[in-house]
Every structure is written in structure tokens, then in C-alpha cells.
Structure 1
């Protein structure tokens, strides 16, 4: 009955009226208490609306049922294959769609449709992987900024491989809380590649020099990417570097010269096949380290430098000398240079050149730190000086405002023109304050004797003269005065009167 009446009514209704009726019927099916027969009829009526020629009707149907998990799957799948403005409504929110449906829609849809899919909540690994392979840079940025999207490290690396030159994509990936260390390292390499290409295109530096600077920047980024990750994260980064042929002897030497023994242990363990505990013991034993050095396949020319650097680290640990938290240590580098200078042979020259370059880099890093500290101290002093000036200015302004308020003339008082005299004495603010005080307050502080009432004085003397001698004697004894029974002195009378 519902489907027949509804279809009959839609034959002559306008598109807007049909859209309103569609929304009402959809809400009744999803949230109304319909019987089984009524629900079947309503479902059939909704499916027939997929053939409505007006996009307004199908859009109203998609808007109403997009977020509901009770929507019939055939209806959602059909709407997902509709025109883009209708399909995007269900692709963005519908929980009925499976990963296969979303991957198919991403493959067949336009870039805006892919961006809508990339912004879905709790996007799965499969859909994220499909978008990483086919989506453009803008859509990949939307995917990277989606905190609920599950993206594997391999797919993040693929995104950087395809669009790593795009700065918004790198920034979006760096903002993710689940960013693995190998992806952080790849982002650093992408930044170094972009800067190197810019410098080379400008003709500021040669290609070979830019390649060496980019390689050294990659080594620094590899060590910095380990910050905040445990042994498992470092081992994961080492495995990635070895797979991509970026785990070089120079990187291991830099790690030792920087005091990053955790990275050196993971790298040597990966190259030699020994466990981490055995590698850690070998780093403290010179003879065992020679065997480890050979099993890892490192060049023989690096052995003296590595041994000297490890010995310097042991000495610093015994003396509790702090190792630089980031960057190369000049003290360790100097020990390594001395050890290489004592070794004869032309094969040590490349190692010495590398160590000298590391020493220059460490010196520049130390100079930068000193300059930053000096600048921060100067900035703090300048800030304190400006704050003191601002506080002093505020105090003076408040004092001036209070002075103007206290000494401002009354609005009811007539204005009196006073001629200014160059010889006149300056205004005395204390006198002005005293003049403004009430007469009762000033009377408390006056020192002159008040006027004597003669009648009251005569009455008091008459009373004193009439007092008996026994009362006066008692008064003298209570006040410690000498007793004279024959007479009453004037001072005694005055005290009694008081």
C-alpha cells in the first residue's frame, strides 16, 4: 500500500517535493517503528527512488541514509556509483561500505572523490595503500592529516617516493603521532634533495659538492631520527638503511664519534649477525672489536679511528664527562685523529680527510650553540629591560592619574583667574592637603591650650575646699605623696580635680 501510494503521488509532484518526501520516507524506514511488511514496502520504495531522474531526490536520499548502519547495502552501493555530488555523501560517512567498495570508488572516481575517501574516519590499511598508489599530492596531504587513518610505513615511504618534493605532504607526515623512524629519515632526505636541487639549479655549488652535502645531511638525519625510539625502533631504521644501501661505514663512524653507541650496536649487529649483547661487549674489548670489525665488513682503515673513539667514550664514562646530546664530539674526534696520524700508510689519508671534515662540522655546531646561548641571554636582558620600563611607565601614569583626581577643581566651584607671577613661591602640595582637611580633624592636632571657663573653675575650687582631711590623706597615700595633715596643697587639689 505504501509503495503504490508513494509511486502514484510522485508521478505529478515536483522534484523538490519528491526530495522532501524521500527524506521523510527514509527517516521513517531507518528510525520509525515499522512492521515487517511496512519496512519491506518502504525499502522497495527507496530502491525505486534510485531511478528518479532528478539528482535532488537521490541527493536527499543519500544525505538521509549516509550515516546509518541500517541502510540497505544495495541502496548504499548504488548511491556510491551515482553522480559525484551524490556518491561523495555516502563515500564520506557510510559504515555499510566495505574496503573493496572504497578501493573501487577511489580507482573509478575523480580526485575530489579520492580526497573525500581519504578524510573518512578509521580508514583501513588497504584503502590507505590504494590511495598512496594512485592519489595526487593534495589527496595524499588529506590522507596524511587524517589522524584516524591507518597507514603503514611502506605506504608512507611510497607517498614520499611519489610526491616527496611537496612541502605540505612532508609537513603533514611529520605531524603524525605514529610516524616511524625510517619515514622520518626519508622526509629528511627529501628536504635535503629539494635544497640540493635548488642550489644546483641556481649554480651556487657544483653537483659533486651538493651530493656530498646531501649524503652528510642524510647521515645526520639518520641519527636524529632515532631520538625518542627504543632499541626496536633503531633496529628497524638500521634494517631500512641496509635494505636501501644507506648503511655505510661513514654513518657508523659518525654514530661512534657522536656518542650514539646504541645506533652503532644495532648497525654492527645487523651487519655481523651477532646479537646486541655480544656486540656491546665487543665494543668494550679492543681485541674482540677487531674480530667484530672484520665480520661486519668495515674497511680496515677505519679500525684505528673506531678503536680510539670507543676508548675515548670509555674514558668519558669513567670520568662522568657528559657526551653531547646531539652532533659530533670534538674531544672524541681529536682522539681519533691522533690515532690515525700515528698509523703509517697512504690508506689513512681518506680517513683523515673525513675526520677533519667532521671536526670542522663539530666546531661549527659548537659555535652555533654558543651564539644561540648568547643571543638568548641578550634577548632575556632586553625583555627584562623593556618589562621594567613598561612597569615604571605604568606606575608613573597611575601616579599622575591619582594626582589629577585628588587636586582637580570641583565642577561647582567658580573658575578664578590667577595671574602667574615669576617671583611667586612654588605650589606647596602639603599645604594644599592641610587646607582641604576638615576643621574637626585639625582640632585634634592643635597644641594651644583651650579657653578656660572661669565659672567651672570656681565651682571646682569650692568643691575641693569643702573636702575633708581624711579624704585628702587617703588620696596622698594612694599616690605615694608625703602626708601633711595640717594643710592641703594646691597640687593635691589639682590632681583630685583632674
Structure 2
């Protein structure tokens, strides 16, 4: 009955009307209130609507059933294979679709549908692996930005191999908190190679120097990652480097001479087949025959044995407390010992090794200088923060003028300072945003110092300046209105005094500073000192 009524009503209707009816019928079916026979007829009608030539009707179906787990599976599968704007609605949200359906859509779909699948909140590892294998850069970026997607290490590595040159994809991968350490190293190595190729194509560096720079940057990145890695992550990183043929003798030498001994232990254990504990015990006795056997079993060149032995000897002495060195200084001492040990080797054979050790020494020296400079800067900053602010009468005028702002804000013309003098600091800068930005802030912060040196300041004032200043201060005080009680903002007058900006007066800077400093001195002290000076003049 429902099927017959629906077909009769929509047979000659417009596409918009059919789409509205399709949405209503879908919602009625998904609510589960229909009887068995009515539900079967409604489901049949919905499946019949898949043949509607109007895309707006099929889109209404997809919008109505995309998030429901009660939607008919044949309907969802058919909509997932429809045109991209309709398929994306169910591919991104439908819980009815299984991994097999999603993998098939990834393999047969376009980038829009793959990006919709990549954004699913319940994306599994098999679907992510399919996307990593066939997806383009846009869909892989969407996959990397999905924090809820379960992506395996192999899939991540495949993403880097296929589209690692895409900067947006690299940024999205590096932003993931669950990115494995080997994938992070692959991204850094890829960046180093790209920079090397760019420098070579631009003619800035030769191909040999570019390759060496990329290789050393890759090794340095591996050791930097090992500093923050746990033991399990470190084992995976070493295994990854060996598979990529990047676990070289030069990397192991760099690790030893830069105090990355855990990395060196795991690397030697990986190459020799011994346990890490056994390797660590042999490294404690670098001059013994056991370490020489370990060196041969790991496949390291015999040319490196004297340098490694010399460096490990210095490290062993430091651990025993015999030389008292640590950090960059110890690393430099190990490199210097390795260089000394290589001096007895034939120059033709040891030339490359000594050049490598010289670069290691330069890097260690720069690291030591950076650390020292950083420590000195922090110490100086702490000393400046803890040092008290002192202001004496001798340097009060110059320091106050140096701290003066470039502009003076005057609230109204009636309070403006005259050409002969200035009011006190509180009246001259009423609109200062913070007290520490005012000219008189240093005097306020060191009030005890200024009061203690009041006589020194007054001794430097001429009689004419003092008299003129006292007269001006009395005149300004007489002109000030009586204090107004505090009122609410609603009762304020409609016209407020206009704020005028007056450029700082460059003339008489010393007179301005002296006036401000004198404004901080009690008036009775000034009058008493003036009386004493008058008596001294009469007595003379």
C-alpha cells in the first residue's frame, strides 16, 4: 500500500518534490515505527529511487541515511558508488560500510571520495594502507590530519615514499603525536636530500659537497632523535637505518664521539648479533682483544679501530672520575684523542678519516660555544632581574630625561605648564597607561634614595629657579578646582575636556628633570633649607 501510494504521488512530480518525498520516506523508515509489511514496502520504494534520473533525489536519500546504522546496506553501497558529491556523504559517515566496501571505493574512486574515506573517525589500518598505496597527495594529507585514524608504520612509510616531497603532507605527518621514530627520520632525511638537490641545481654547491651535507644531516638527525627515544624506539630506529643501508661506520663513529653510547651499543649489537649487555661490557674495555673482535664481527673498517679505542678510553676515564670532564668538553677531548691516534696511520689511508674527525671537532666546538653563550646570557638576565634600582642625585636629571616619553598628554589647557616651569609629575602625565612609563617613575621607585639626597639636589638649584618653581606651584594649586565626589558613569557630563597631545619640549631638559625631582621633595624641607641659606648669606 505504501509503495503504491508513493509511486502514484511522485510519478508526475518535479525533482524537488520527489526529493522531499524521498527524504520523508527515508526518515520514516529509519525511525522503526512501521510494521513489517510496511517497512518492506518502504525499503523497496527507497531502492527504487536509486534509479531516479535526478541527482537531487539520490542526494536527499544520502543525506537522510548517511549517519544511521539502520539504513539498508544495499542502499548505502549503491549510494557509495554514485557520483562523487553523493558518494562522499555516505563514505565519510555511514557506519554500515565495512572495510571491504571502503577499500573497494578507495581503489575505484577519485580523490574526492578517497579524501572522504580518509576523514572517517573509525578508519582502520587496512583502509589506511589502501589509501597510502593508491591515494594522491590531497587524500593522504586528509588521512594524516585525521587524529583518530589508525595508520600502521608501513603505511606511513609508504606515504613518505610516494608523496614525501609534498610540504603540506610532511607538516601534517610531523604534527601527529603517534608518528613512529623511523618515519620521522625518513622525513628529515628526505628534507636533507631535497635541500641538497636544490643547492646543486642552483649552482651553490658541488654535487660531492651536496651529497656529503645531506648524508651528515641525515646522520645528525638520527642521533638527535635517539636522544629522546626509549629503548624500544631506539631498537626500531637502528633496524630501520640498517634496512635503508644508512647504518654506516661513520654514523657509529659519530655516535661514540658525541656521547650517544646507547645508540652505538644497539647499533653494534644489531650488526654483530650479540646482546646489548655483552656489547656494553666490551665497550668498557676498548683496549682489550674482545673489543677488537667485536669491531671485526660488526663489519667496521679496521682503520676506525684506533680512533674508536682512543675515544672510548677518554670516556672510560671520565666515568671513573680520573679527568673530571663531561658534556661537550668530554666530546671534544674524545675527538682530539681520536685525531691523535690517527696521526700514526699512513696519510693516504687516514686522510678521509682525519677530515671527518676534523669536522666532528668543529661541530663539537660550536656546540660547546653555543651552550656557554646561552648559559652566560641566562646568568646575565638573572643578575639584571635581581639587581635593585638605584638613583642618586648626581645622575637623577640625566636618567629622568632619558626615560621621558616622546609626547606629554595634557588633560585640559587650564592645567598646562607654563613656559617658566612645570607642575609635579602626577599632574603632568595624568593619562599615562602605567606608572612605570612616566618620567617620574624612577624617582617614585627610589623615593628613599631621593629623600636622602634632598640637600644635594637643593644645593644645585639656583635661587631664581627655586623661587620661580615655588611661585608656579602655588599658582597652579590655586587654579585647581575643588575635588569632585565620585559619580556613576551615567551621571558624567556629555562633554568631557578634550585631550590634546603636545610634543615634548626639547628645550631646558635639565630644568624639566630638576623640576620633577624637586616635586618629590617635601615643601617644608625646601623652605627650611631656603631659610638656612638666607641666614648664611646675611652672616657673610
Measured in 2, the distance between the counterparts of 1:424 and 1:228 equals 68
CA deviation string 1:399-434 (max 9, x = no partner): 86756889xxxxxxxxxxxxxxx9997323499379
Correspondence for 1:159: 159
Q: Alignment partner of 1:147: what SS?
A: coil
Whether 1:128 aligns to 2:173 is no
For structure 1, which runs of at least 5 residues remain unmatched after alignment? 407-421, 439-498
Native 8 Å contact 2:342 2:354 kept in 1: yes
Native 8 Å contact 2:328 2:367 kept in 1: no
Native 8 Å contact 1:182 1:225 kept in 2: no
Q: Alignment partner of 1:4: what SS?
A: helix
Residues 235-314 of structure 1: pairs in structure 2 closer than 5 A: 235-286=235-286, 287=288, 288-314=290-316
Residues 178-189 of structure 1: pairs in structure 2 closer than 5 A: 178-189=178-189
Native 8 Å contact 2:328 2:364 kept in 1: no
**TM-score with structure 1 length normalisation?**
0.76
Native 8 Å contact 1:192 1:218 kept in 2: yes
User: Structure 1 residues 275 and 18, CA, compared in 2 at 3 Å: closer, same or farther?
Assistant: same
- Kindly state the Cα deviation for residue 238 of structure 1 after the two structures are TM-superposed: 0.9
**TM-score with structure 2 length normalisation?**
0.70
Measured in 2, the distance between the counterparts of 1:158 and 1:380 equals 49
Measured in 1, the distance between the counterparts of 2:368 and 2:251 equals 20
Whether 1:44 aligns to 2:44 is yes
How many residue pairs end up in the alignment?
418
Correspondence for 2:362: 360
Residues 65-464 of structure 1: pairs in structure 2 closer than 5 A: 65-286=65-286, 287=288, 288-319=290-321, 321-324=325-328, 329-343=331-345, 346-369=348-371, 426-429=471-474, 432=477
- Kindly state the Cα deviation for residue 177 of structure 1 after the two structures are TM-superposed: 1.0
CA deviation string 1:4-40 (max 9, x = no partner): 1111111122211221221121111112422222222
- Kindly state the Cα deviation for residue 119 of structure 1 after the two structures are TM-superposed: 1.4
User: Structure 1 residues 65 and 378, CA, compared in 2 at 3 Å: closer, same or farther?
Assistant: farther
- Kindly state the Cα deviation for residue 228 of structure 1 after the two structures are TM-superposed: 2.6
Measured in 2, the distance between the counterparts of 1:213 and 1:313 equals 28
Let me know the Cα RMSD of the aligned residues: 3.5
- Kindly state the Cα deviation for residue 370 of structure 1 after the two structures are TM-superposed: 5.1
For structure 2, which runs of at least 5 residues remain unmatched after alignment? 388-398, 412-423, 432-466, 484-540
CA deviation string 1:120-158 (max 9, x = no partner): 112111111111122222221111111111222222222
Measured in 2, the distance between the counterparts of 1:27 and 1:247 equals 61
User: Structure 1 residues 123 and 227, CA, compared in 2 at 3 Å: closer, same or farther?
Assistant: farther
Query: Bigger radius of gyration, 1 or 2?
Result: 1
User: Structure 1 residues 17 and 377, CA, compared in 2 at 3 Å: closer, same or farther?
Assistant: farther
Native 8 Å contact 2:88 2:113 kept in 1: yes
Native 8 Å contact 1:132 1:158 kept in 2: yes
- Kindly state the Cα deviation for residue 227 of structure 1 after the two structures are TM-superposed: 3.4
Native 8 Å contact 1:164 1:187 kept in 2: yes
